Amino acid sequence: MRAALVVNRVVHDVEANLCAILRGIRRASVEGADLVLFSEAALTGLINEDRPSHDLPLGIEVPGPVMDQLAEAAARCGIWIGLGLLEREGTRLYDSAFLVGPEGRVGLHYRRIQPQWHGPQADPSVYRQGSELPVLRTPLGAFAFLICGDLFDASIGHRFRALEPDWLLYPLARCFSDGAVDQQRWKEEELPDYIERVQRSGATALMVNYLAGRDLMSGACGGAWVVRPNGQVVASLPLGEEGMLLVDLESPTL
Amino acid sequence: MRPPGDESGAFLVAIDRLQPSQLYVSAEKLARVREMIASSGPASLAPLPVVRLGKDVVLTDGHTRTYAAWSAGQNSLRVAWDRDELDMEAYAICVGWCTGEGIRAISDLEDRVVSTDAYQRLWLDRCAAMHRLLATRRTG
C-alpha cells in the first residue's frame, strides 16, 4: 500500500481548506497513492469554543455537499480518503473521522469516543461522543480510526487492540501550550508517548496533525508519522512543514 | 502567454463551451447544491476548475454546480485553469466516454440526472473500475 499523509495549513476560510484537501487528494493520486490521510478537523481546525452558536456551524452534515465532493474525488482519483471532520447531526456535534473508498462510498464512519475535544462544561446534549469502534476490512488490510486523545485512553486502546486491525488511521490536532513548533521537544517529550501507545494498539499507525497559526485557537504544529507496532518510526514529516509524506507499506497477507 | 483571468486566475466562460468529463449528475447532490446556491447566492460559488484537452476546455470538477447554474438560466460561469497535477490519462478516458455518448456540453446531461443509487452504479463504480484497470496496467 502506498500511503500519502498530508499536512495542510488550516485557515479560517473553510472553502480554502476544502480546496487544499481536494488538491492533496489529487496530488496523492498522481503520486500513485492508494490511501490519502488528513488530520483531525481537517476542514476547520479544532476551533470549537463550547458555544453551540459558534460551533454547530463548523460541523458538516453527512450526507451533504462536502461529503459529496470527497466521494466524487475518491471515485475520480481511485483512492481511499481518510480525514477528520467536525460532524453535525441536527443539534449534536461530533469529532468524527471518515474513510471514503475508491467507489465513492463512506466505508468507515467513526466518532471520537474520548471527550476531551471539548471543555468539561460543554453542553452534553450538543457535544457528543461516539461509542462504536468500527473496523473496515479491505484488500489493503483492516482499517480502524482513533482520534487524538482516544489513543491515550486505556479502555479504548484495549478495545482497539482486541479488534486486531492492521492499520490505525490516526488524525490528530496538537500544539504546544506555548505555541512553539519545537521539533526537538516533540521528539524528546511527546513522540515517545505516542510510540508507546501505538505499540499497545498492535497496528501500524498513520498519524497526521494539521498546521495552523495561533490566530486559529491555539494553532497546531503539524507533523506526520508512520509508526510500526514494534515502535519503529518508518517515516515522518517534521513539525511546521506543509506537505505530503509518501510511504510504501507492505500490506498484510490476506 | 498568460492565461486570461483576474487576480485569482478566474475568468468568465460561456457554459456551453465547457466540455463535461462526467456522464451523469446525481439528483440528490443537485438538490443539495441548489439549496446551497439558494441560501448563499450564485456568487458564493468558487471558480470551477478547467483544463485544456486538445481543443476542448474540460471541467475537471463541479459538474453538479455547472448543471445547477445552467438549469437556473445562467449562460456563463467563472472558471479557473486547474493548476494541480492531474491524472490526465484518466480525464482523457472520461472525456472520451462523454464525447462517445454525444455529451459535448452540460446541457447534454439533461436526461442524465439520476438517483443516488444509479449515480453510484453508472458513474462512481465505473470510475473506480477504470482506476483499477489503470493501476493494473501501470504496475505491469
Q: What is the pLDDT along chain A (254 residues), one digit of tens a residue?
A: 999 999 999 999 999 999 999 999 999 999 999 999 999 999 999 999 999 999 999 999 999 999 999 999 999 899 999 999 999 999 999 999 999 999 999 999 999 999 999 999 999 999 999 999 999 999 999 999 999 999 999 999 999 999 999 999 999 999 887 777 888 999 999 999 999 999 999 999 999 999 998 788 778 999 999 999 999 999 999 999 999 999 999 877 55
Q: How far is A163 from chain B (nearest CA, A)?
A: 28
Binary contact (A68, B64; C-beta < 8 A): yes
What range does the domain containing A187 cover? Answer: 2-248
Question: Shortest Cα distance from B138 to chain A (angstroms)?
Answer: 9
- Check CB contact of B29 with chain A, cutoff 8 Å: yes
| Rounded Cα gap, residues A71 and A68, in angstroms | 5
A235 three-state secondary structure:
strand
Q: Which residue in the block uniquely carries the three cell numbers 508512520?
A: A226
Maximal C-alpha separation, chain B? 49
Q: Are A179 and A160 in contact (CB under 8 A)?
A: no
Cβ-defined contact of A76 to B127 (cutoff 8 Å): yes
d(CA B93, CA B132): 13
Q: Does B71 touch chain A (CB under 8 A)?
A: no
**Amino acid A254: pLDDT:** 52
Q: Which three cell numbers stand for residue B101?
A: 455518448
Q: Note whether A104 contacts B61, CB cutoff 8 Å.
A: no
Considering the domain boundaries, does residue A52 fall inside one?
Answer: yes
Q: What is the CATH number of the domain that holds A81?
A: 3.60.110.10
Is residue A253 in some structural domain?
no
A55 part of a folded domain: yes
Model confidence, pTM: 0.88
Q: Which residues in chain A have Cβ-Cβ distances shorter than 8 Å to B138?
A: 32
Reference A224, options A205, A199, A248; nearest CA is A205
- Domain membership flag for residue A64: yes
pLDDT class of B85 with cuts at 50, 70, 90: confident
Question: What span, in angstroms and rounded, lies between the C-alpha atoms of A192 and B56?
Answer: 54
Question: Could B29 and A19 be called an inter-chain contact, meaning their C-beta atoms sit closer than 8 Å?
Answer: no
The whole-number pLDDT of residue A178 equals 78
ipTM of the complex: 0.74
A163 occurs within a structural domain: yes
Cβ distance B134 to A30 less than 8 Å, yes or no, reads no
CB contact under 8 A, B87 and A23: no
> How many domains are contained in chain A?
1
Q: Is the residue at A254 inside a domain? A: no
Q: Does B61 touch chain A (CB under 8 A)?
A: yes
| Residue reference for cell 486505556 | A154
| A236 occurs within a structural domain | yes
d(CA A80, CA A68): 14
Whether pLDDT at B52 is above 90: yes
